[in-house]
Amino acid sequence: MWTTAKAPSLDEMEAMAHEIFERLPKGFRALCEGVILRVDDFPTDEVLEEMKAESEFDLLGLFQGIGLPFRSNNDIAR
């Protein structure tokens, strides 16, 4: 069964991420307003350096931005 399986493309992975996000409870999704879901094959060299990763395979997920507890009403959306 697994011998014919293939890895999903980046577009397929991004579509899956959006589908799964839509399944989350509405209240949780409301707290995530403005979150952008983005799927890349590997992190940039800058991210690898900042995270002190030895390999591009060391980083499997990353949140970049300002967490809700650290935002103020005066923050500008980016």
Mind listing the pLDDT tens digit for each residue in 56-73? 999 888 887 777 677 776
Q: Considering the domain boundaries, does residue 49 fall inside one?
A: yes
Please report, for residues 4, 58, 63, the alpha-carbon distance to residue 76 in angstroms, rounded to integers and kept in the order given: 48, 32, 18
Is residue 4 assigned to a domain? Answer: no
Domain-embedded: residue 73 = no
Distances (CA, A) of 21 to 33, 44, 45, 46: 12, 24, 28, 27
- Give the structural domain span for 48: 9-60
- The reported pLDDT for the residue numbered 75 is 61
State pTM to two decimals.
0.60
Q: What pLDDT, in 10s, does the model give residues 13-57?
A: 999 999 999 999 999 999 888 788 888 888 999 999 999 999 999
